[in-house]
Every structure is written in C-alpha cells, then in structure tokens.
C-alpha cells in the first residue's frame, strides 16, 4: 500500500493463430500492459492496419445505424427500451453475452451484415425523402392555390390600371378579365395537359394578343430570401412587375437542409415574354419553387381536389414505408449495443496486437508486457485458455525477463482508498516503488479539512449526505449522473471521512451550527461586581478572575462563546495549533524522504539531503513548536510567575541577536545557549545541503572515469529478437554517457532544491496558517448567519418572520457554508497536501508512469 506493487517484464511468444485469443483472454482479465515494440513505425506499416481500418469502418456504420434508429424509430422510448433490454441481457448472464458478442460473430460477417443494413436503410431513406418531398410539394401547392387566390382576386382590379397606364394599351376590360393570363405550369403530369389547354383555349377564343399577355408565376420561396428576391425582381424588370406575397402559417420542412423553414407564397405578374426567361432564372437562383396556378376558379378547385386525393395516397404509402423502416431499425436497435461492444473490443485487441513484434523466421509474435508479480500465474492461465480456444499447435510461451527500465507504478486500491489515490495522482504519478502519500492522506486530508470546517452540525449534514450516497452506491454505479453528482459519487468516502472528522473538530471547538453545547457543564461562572468571569471552583476572589481548577473535560468550555475575549483566545490557540500541524506534517514528509532514500539505498541522499534537511527544519521550527508547548504547559497564574513571553519576539531575537535573550523572554534556563546552538546548526546545514552532494558526486565520477567500461548487454538482451527497435537501444546506450560529467547541471539542480527547501521551510510553515484563517472565517460566517438572520427572526416573535428567517438561514447554511465553504476548505486541504506535504519527498524527479493494463 505504501509502495507500488512488484511489476515484472514478461516476454510472451504467441503462435500466429493463437495471438488474437490469448490477447483477448489477457485483456478480459485486465492483467498486463503491453509495451509498444513498434513505436517508430507509422500506423500504416503495422501488421494489423487493415483490421483496424475495418474496425473504424464498422464503427462508422454503427454510428450511422444507431443515429438512424434514434431518429426514426416511432418514439425515442422504443430505442432506449430495446437498448436497455439488450443491456440487461448482457448484465444478466456473462456467459450469454460472451457467446453472443465475442465468439459467434466474426468481424467480416458483421461487416457484411452491417453493409447490408446500411444499404437497405440508405435506400429506404432515399425513398422516404422522395416521398416526403412530394408530400411537401403537394402541401405547398395547396397553400399556393389557397393563398394565391386571395392575392389573385385582389390583384385583378389593379392589373386593369396597370394596363391602362402601362405598356398594354387599348385593351378591353372583358379581355383582361377573360383569358389573358396564361398560367405557368410545371411538373411532368401537368405539362402536356396545360399546353393542350392553352392551345385549345387560344383556338376557342380566337384571339389573345401576344403583347397583352400578363404572365403569372406563383410559387413559394423561403421567407428569408423574400426581400432580396423582390428587390432583384424589381431591378431586373425595372419596376414593370407586380409581386404580392402571403406567408404560410406553418413552417415547411426543407429536406435538403434538414430543418424547418418559414416560407412565403408569392404571386408574380409580369408582362411580355422577354422577362420570362430572366425571372425563371432568378426564381431558380433563389431556390423558389413555382407551381401551376390556373386562372379560373373551377380549374383551381379541380386541382385542389386532385391534390387532396394525391395527398391521401401519399400518406398511405408513407405510412407503409415508415412501418418497414421501423422493422429494420428495431432489429438494429436490439443488436447495436452488442455490435458496438464487439467492435470496440476487437479494435482494442488489434491495437494491442500491433504492439507485438512479428518474428518472421520463427513465425511467432513476440510481445513484452508488464505484469504485477502477484498475477503472473493468472496471466499464464489466461494464455493457456487462449491457446486452447484457438487450437494452437504449439503452446504460447511466457517468460520473465530482466530489464533495467523502470516498470510502471501500480497501486492496488479498493473502493475506499481509490479517491485518495486519485487525489495524489492528480499531482503526479509516483515513480516505481516510491513512497505513496495516499495512505497518509487518508488520515491527514480529512483532518486538515476538518480543522477548517470544524462544526458538529455541518459535519453531521455532510456525513449524512455522504452516507446516503454510500448506501446508494450499488444503484448509482452504472447510472449516468450529472457532473456535480458524479463528483460527489466519486468522492463519497472522502466526503464521509471529512464529515466525521468535522464533527470531531466541531466538538473540540464546541460549535454546533455556531451554538456551543454545554455537555459537561461550564466551569466558568459570572459573579456580580467582577470584571471578568472566574472558575466555578476557584472564585474566592472574583476580582482576580482565576481560571477553574477543574478543566473542561473535552474541547472548549461553552462559556468562551460569550466571553468578550473569545476571539483573542481562539485566534491564539488556532494559530499555534496550525503551526503545530505544520511542523508535524512536514517533518513526516521529510522522514518519508528518508524512507525513500533508504529503500533505494541512496546513502548520499540520506546523509547529504535528509540529515541536513531534518536538522535545519527541527532546529528552527521544531524549536518553535517546543516553545509553544512549553508556553502552553506553564501555569502563568501561579504565584510568582512572570508574564508570558511573546514567542515572536523570542524567534526574532534568535536570529537578530544570537546568544543573548532578555530574561523576560526566557521560558527555561539556558535558553539563549540552546538557541545559539540551534542557530549554528541551521546555518551549518545550508552549505551542507548545497555543496556536499554535488561535490561527492563529482569525486565519484573522477575516480570512476579511468576504469569505466562500456556497458555490456546482459545475456538476456542478446536472446531477444534482433529487431528490438533501434531508438530504444540507443537511448539505453546513451544513458551512462549522460551521467558522466554534467557537474554544472547537478550543481544547479541541487542549488535549486536547496533554495527551495530553505525558503520553503519558512513559507510553507506560514502557509499552514490558512488552517487558522479558514477556521476563523467559517466560525465567523456561521455566527453571522445565526445572529443576524435566525436570532433576528426569532426576536420578532412573529411566526411568519420566524419561518422566513429559518428558511433563509438554512438555505444560506447549506448553500454558502456546506457547499462553498466546504469546497474552499477542500481546496486548501488539497493545496497543503500537494504543495507543503508532497514536495518534501514525492515525485521529485517526475518520472513515474501509471500501470494501465489492457482491459476489455
């Protein structure tokens, strides 16, 4: 738990046929992490590029299919229920899903099946779109007829005036009201008919002066183009045109753009043939659709009924199509989860197989993988099963091999510890076998949080909330939670611990929603005629205000809450307490750095890093802590005692005037000598930290250089397949050369670390004062809400005001204190762990890699 698990490098030789199944079995158990042996070959040159491409293609098809199913199944519910059913099947029996999803279907079969489905669906969609667009045409035509009629009759009167003053002279009004308008018809079914009619009409009437013809275009256009369209029409025809429009009450679906657009019916009157071609093109250019618009009412009515009949027919067809498509999509919906899972799995397997090396002469795949030592046997079993499944002729072989590379870091976590591990790893991954701060944090993290959040009531609310989530754990595991809830779910155990610890510190501070609890009976009492309270059992002379002999058994006496000097007292206590935890936690950090150095047998780091560091730190801050405790434990009220010294002054005197300390500041005899010694130690340790390590390293290098050997590949390496990739080999060769020389770099590095430590010792200790500050802020805020809102409301003695006051107070307590304040306390605790604690020993070289096994 404190150090990551043993990880060994395994080399596995797979039969070509067995490789796939073996990797699958390993992946199912999530045991090993394969190393990429082809790091510098591009994606194209790898062995299984084709299979991966197939997987990509399949995934695309599946995306298409599930999107279609989502979109077109009669109601969305159906899709979700179908998918949920299949999900349940998977969960119900692992055996079933295994057979269904992995063994029976091969990728090629699946590809064929999906291709068929996709083609079917695309054809259906094409058909569907055609039907829809026809339906839309009919609907639009209906609107054109209906709305155009109004325009037409209105315009008829105006057209006469146009003809009187315009370019059409000498026309009788009966001619105009007669057959002067030639309707423009489009669409194959109408063309021949209309032409026939026109001819017929022309013959029947016997006259229709060509220049007298006012042409009519009727159609629909998207409302947003209307303005530009009308402007263009006006410009092109130089005003000899008459455009009227009415907007369609409902939006029309545009199939090409796949969205609903507002459309407008327009009717356009214009004279002469020469404008016709131009306007036709303009209509095309603006995407306006023109529809046949007969001029006589009877004709229009006939057309309308025709449209209604066609519409009914179409709707029937559409319904059938819809049903067919729903059938196909239903089949898709039931299977799509299986297929997606299957394809994702296969893709992962092929991706992993691409990391293997293919040995051409031996016809085997050679893979290297990291595996926790504890699980080697299971991995062996997995490979055995894979061999059996694939009927391999020769068994796959697995062997351990030595390596000088650092293995990945793997901490085994359970539900409870995982969240702390996550917090630590958000800062950085531990190097292999480096000390893991997470187990320490399990205790310290909630505790530091609780120091800032100390209140029994708030802690209780937090605990209850966390407990609720913990009991819901099983139900919520697979559910999709919101962002906020998911965070809470992930950190449920952390929150639980924080709540419990907050109750503890709340008891110490003696606060419950800001109200002190008088559990054991206050030991102070107030006597008339005295300026200060005095102890219950020690109040012979009230004027003296002597403290009680019997101390309050646990935490603060509730009387402090109402004392005038409560803030001074609490501040002094909390500040010193913060320093206390600062020194304790950082000393722990430094000691952990010793434990690391000892584990890796780096005596240099023990003697020239750890020892001066701990000496320096304890000489100054350890001494400060000692003074604090001394001062606390001295009875300053005892007869003959002097007044308590100011510790700040003591510390300042220690540096500014070494060796001399005014008698009034002394806590124990000989303090000035002790201080002098400690200061001397602190001063000596700084150059020790700074110079010793680089100098020793330099001397070692000098003595080593004359008889330095070129590194030999150990026997194991030579057995390895010759095609170990070259860059790796090079980097391995380059390493020893790099460590030769470079004294300057080591020195600068060490200097930075020294400066950081020495300055950090002061600033980090000061940084822990945030414990005090946040705790103070929390207590004061609680108090303000309580006094100003709840107590004010209670004071009115009005029921409604009390209710409002309570609701307001409770809302603020939850919103501001429980959510915002707790978040801020959490962040500060996080900072104290990441920066002040972990920088003493953790991840100093930043070289850790997390163990990420293949997990299917």
| Sites of contact with another protein (CB under 8 A) | 42-44, 49, 52-53, 56-57, 59-60, 63-64, 225, 228, 231-232, 235-236, 277-278, 281-282, 284-287
Residue with Cβ nearer another protein (231 or 415): 231
Least distance CB 241 / another protein (angstroms): 13
Specify the residue, 286 or 427, whose C-beta has the smaller distance to another protein.
286
Distance in Å, CB of 244 to another protein, minimum: 21
- DSSP assignment string, 269-317: EEESSHHHHHHHHHHHHTTPEEE---SSHHHHHHHHHHHHHHHHHHHHH
CA dihedral (381, 385, 391, 392) in degrees, to 10, reads -30
Q: Which is nearer to another protein, 281 or 412 (CB)?
A: 281
Nearest-approach distance from CB 322 to another protein, in angstroms: 25
Please report how close the Cβ of residue 61 comes to another protein at its closest, in angstroms. Answer: 8
Q: Note the helical H segments in 600-725.
A: 603-605, 611-617, 623-633, 647-656, 671-687, 693-704, 715-719
Q: What are phi and psi of 712, to 5 degrees?
A: -90, 140
- Cβ closer to another protein: 353 or 430? 353
C-alpha dist (Å) from residue 666 to 555, 638, 656, 676, 767: 29, 17, 16, 14, 27
Compute the least distance from the CB of residue 227 to another protein, in Å.
9
What does the chain come to in residues?
A: 856
CB of 229 to another protein, least distance (A): 8
Owner of token pair 């603060």: 556
- What is the separation of C-alpha 515 from the centre of its chain, rounded to a whole number of angstroms? 39
| In the complex, least distance from residue 726 CB atom to another protein, rounded to whole angstroms | 17
What tokens appear for 29 in the block? 């158990």
Both structure tokens of 643: 């007044």
- Number of other residues whose CB lies within 10 A of the CB of residue 99: 11
Do residues 786 and 514 touch, judged by C-beta distance below 8 A?
Answer: yes
What are the two backbone dihedrals, phi and then psi, of residue 486, each rounded to the nearest 5 degrees? -60, -45
Q: How far is the CB of 42 from another protein (least distance, A)?
A: 5
User: In this structure, are residues 451 and 828 in contact, taking their beta carbons and an 8 Å threshold?
Assistant: no
Q: What are phi and psi of 430, to 5 degrees?
A: -65, 150
Q: Which is nearer to another protein, 112 or 287 (CB)?
A: 287
Q: From the CB of 271, what's the least distance to another protein, in Å?
A: 17
Tell me how far apart the alpha carbons of residues 10 and 485 are, in angstroms, rounded to a whole number: 41
Instruction: Using the minimum distance from each CB to another protein, give the nearer residue, 339 or 621.
Output: 339
Write out the H or E segment, with its range, that includes residue 8: strand 7-15
Q: How many CB atoms lie within 10 A of CB 346?
A: 23
Neighbours of 467 (CB within 10 A): 15
Nearer residue to another protein within complex by CB, 43 or 641: 43
Q: Pick the closer one to another protein by CB: 284 or 745.
A: 284
The Cβ-side half-sphere exposure at 167, using a 13 Å CA radius, reads: 14
CA atoms within 13 A on the CB side of 550: 9
Alpha-carbon gap, residue 194 to 216, rounded angstroms: 14
Measured from the CB atom, the residue of 40 and 551 that comes closer to another protein is 40
d(CA 385, CA 30): 15
Q: Which residues contact 398 (CB under 8 A, 6 or more apart)?
A: 10, 11, 12, 13, 376, 379, 380, 383
- Nearer CB in complex with another protein: 43/803: 43
Comparing CB distances to another protein, the nearer of 281 and 788 is: 281
Look at phi and psi of residue 170 and say left if phi exceeds 0, alpha if psi is from -120 to 50, else beta.
left
The tokens 């196909």 sit on which residue? Answer: 328
- 8 vs 368: CA distance, rounded Å: 10
Calculate the alpha carbon distances from 48 to 45, 52, 99, 103, 358 in Å.
9, 6, 24, 20, 11
289: left (phi over 0), alpha (psi -120 to 50) or beta: beta
Q: Least distance (Å) from another protein to the CB of residue 846?
A: 24
Min CB(56)–another protein separation in Å: 7
Q: Which is nearer to another protein, 281 or 713 (CB)?
A: 281
Closer to another protein by Cβ: residue 49 or 314: 49
CB of 136 to another protein, least distance (A): 20
Q: Give the tokens for residue 331.
A: 């089949």
The least CB distance from residue 59 to another protein, in Å, is 8
Rounded Cα–Cα distance for residues 577 and 790 (Å): 31
Residue with tokens 């293919």: 358
Map residue 438 onto helix, strand or coil. Answer: helix
**Which CB atom, from 52 or from 494, has the smaller least distance to another protein?**
52
Nearer to another protein, 133 or 322 (CB): 133
Query: Taken in order 158, 159, 164, 167, is the CA torsion positive or negative?
Result: positive
Report the distance separating Cα 56 and Cα 361, nearest Å: 31
Among residues 64 and 581, whose Cβ is nearest to another protein?
Answer: 64
d(CA 516, CA 60) in angstroms, rounded, equals 64
Shortest gap between Cβ of 790 and another protein (angstroms)?
44
Least distance to another protein from the beta carbon of 60, Å? 6
Contact 586, 836 (CB under 8 A): yes
Whole-angstrom Cα distance, residue 845 to residue 851?
18
Q: Which residues contact 156 (CB under 8 A, 6 or more apart)?
A: 177
Nearer to another protein, 288 or 423 (CB): 288
Instruction: State the minimum distance, in angstroms, from the CB of residue 594 to another protein.
Output: 44
User: For another protein, which is the closer residue by CB, 344 or 413?
Assistant: 344
For residue 232, the minimal CB distance to another protein (Å) is: 6
Least distance from another protein to the Cβ atom of residue 125, Å: 14
Return the closest-CA partner of residue 624 out of 667, 685, 656. 667
């Amino acid at each position: 738990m404190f150090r990551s698990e043993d990880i060994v490098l395994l080399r596995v030789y797979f039969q070509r046929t067995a490789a796939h199944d073996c990797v699958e079995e390993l992946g199912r158990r999530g045991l090993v992490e394969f190393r990429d042996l082809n790091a510098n070959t591009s994606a194209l040159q790898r062995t299984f590029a084709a299979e991966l491409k197939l997987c990509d293609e399949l995934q695309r098809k599946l995306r298409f299919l599930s999107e279609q199913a989502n979109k077109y199944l009669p109601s969305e519910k159906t899709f979700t229920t179908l998918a949920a059913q299949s999900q349940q099947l998977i969960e119900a029996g692992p055996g079933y899903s295994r057979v269904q999803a992995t063994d029976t279907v091969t990728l090629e079969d699946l590809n064929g099946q999906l291709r068929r489905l996709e083609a079917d669906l695309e054809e259906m969609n094409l058909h569907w779109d055609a039907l829809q667009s026809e339906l839309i045409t009919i609907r639009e035509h209906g609107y054109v007829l209906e709305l155009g009629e109004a325009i037409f009759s209105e315009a008829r009167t105006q057209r006469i005036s146009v003809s009187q003053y315009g370019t059409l002279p000498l026309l009788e009004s009966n001619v105009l009201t007669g057959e002067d308008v030639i309707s423009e018809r489009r669409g194959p079914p109408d063309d021949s008919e209309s032409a026939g009619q026109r001819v017929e009409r022309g013959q029947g009437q016997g006259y229709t002066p060509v220049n007298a013809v006012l042409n009519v275009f009727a159609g629909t256009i998207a409302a947003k183009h209307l303005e530009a369209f009308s402007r263009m029409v006006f410009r092109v025809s130089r005003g000899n045109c008459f455009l009227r429009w009415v907007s369609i009450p409902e939006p029309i679906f545009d199939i090409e753009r796949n969205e609903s657009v507002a459309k407008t019916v327009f009717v356009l009157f214009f004279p002469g043939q020469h404008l016709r071609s131009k306007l036709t093109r303009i209509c095309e250019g603006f995407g306006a659709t023109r529809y046949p618009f007969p001029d006589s009412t009877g004709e229009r009515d006939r057309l309308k009924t025709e449209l209604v009949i066609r519409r009914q027919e179409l709707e029937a067809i559409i319904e059938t199509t819809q049903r067919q498509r729903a059938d196909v999509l239903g089949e898709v919906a039931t299977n799509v989860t299986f297929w997606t899972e299957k394809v994702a799995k296969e893709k992962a397997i092929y991706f992993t197989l691409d990391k293997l090396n293919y040995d051409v002469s031996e016809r085997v795949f050679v893979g290297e993988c990291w595996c926790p030592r504890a699980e080697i046997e299971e991995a062996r079993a997995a490979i055995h099963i894979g061999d059996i499944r694939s009927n391999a002729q020769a068994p796959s072989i697995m062997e351990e091999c030595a390596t000088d590379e650092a293995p990945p870091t793997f901490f085994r976590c359970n539900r409870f510890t995982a969240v702390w591990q996550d917090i630590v790893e958000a800062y950085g991954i531990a190097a292999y076998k480096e000390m893991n701060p997470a187990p320490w944090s399990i205790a310290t993290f909630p505790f530091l949080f609780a120091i800032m959040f100390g209140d029994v009531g708030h802690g209780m609310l937090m605990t209850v909330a966390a407990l609720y989530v913990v009991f819901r754990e099983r139900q919520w595991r697979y559910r999709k939670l919101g962002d906020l809830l998911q965070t809470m779910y992930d950190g449920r155990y952390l929150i639980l611990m924080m709540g419990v610890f907050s109750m503890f510190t709340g008891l110490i501070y003696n606060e419950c929603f800001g109200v002190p609890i008088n559990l054991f009976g206050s030991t102070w009492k107030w006597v008339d005629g005295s300026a200060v309270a005095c102890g219950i059992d020690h109040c012979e002379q009230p004027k003296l205000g002597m403290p009680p002999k019997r101390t309050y058994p646990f935490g603060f006496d509730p009387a402090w809450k109402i004392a005038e000097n409560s803030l001074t007292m609490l501040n002094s206590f909390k500040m010193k307490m913060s320093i206390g935890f600062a020194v304790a936690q950082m000393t722990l950090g430094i000691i952990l750095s010793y434990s690391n150095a000892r584990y890796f047998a780096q005596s240099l780091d023990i003697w020239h890093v750890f020892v001066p560091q701990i000496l320096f730190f304890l000489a100054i801050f350890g001494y400060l802590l000692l003074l604090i405790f001394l001062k606390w434990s001295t009875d300053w009220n005892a007869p003959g005692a002097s007044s308590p010294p100011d510790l700040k002054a003591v510390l300042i005197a220690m540096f500014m005037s070494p060796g001399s300390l005014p008698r009034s500041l002394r806590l124990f005899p000989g303090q000035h000598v002790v201080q002098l010694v400690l200061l001397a130690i602190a001063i000596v340790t700084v150059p020790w930290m700074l110079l010793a390590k680089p100098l020793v390293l330099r001397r070692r290098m000098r003595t080593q250089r004359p008889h330095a050997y070129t590194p030999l590949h150990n026997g194991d390496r030579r057995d390895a397949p010759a095609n170990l990739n070259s860059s790796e080999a090079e980097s391995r060769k380059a390493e020893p050369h790099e460590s030769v020389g470079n004294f300057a770099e080591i020195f600068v590095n060490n200097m930075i670390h020294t400066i950081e430590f020495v300055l950090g010792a002061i600033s980090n200790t000061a940084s822990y004062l945030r414990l005090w500050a946040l705790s103070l802020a929390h207590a004061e805020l609680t108090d303000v809400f309580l006094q100003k809102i709840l107590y004010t409301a209670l004071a009115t003695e009005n029921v409604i005001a009390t209710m409002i006051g309570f609701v307001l107070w409770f809302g603020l307590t939850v919103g501001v204190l429980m959510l915002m304040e707790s978040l801020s306390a959490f962040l500060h605790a996080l900072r104290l762990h990441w920066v002040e604690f972990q920088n003493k020993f953790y991840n100093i070289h930043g070289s850790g890699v997390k163990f990420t096994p293949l997990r299917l």
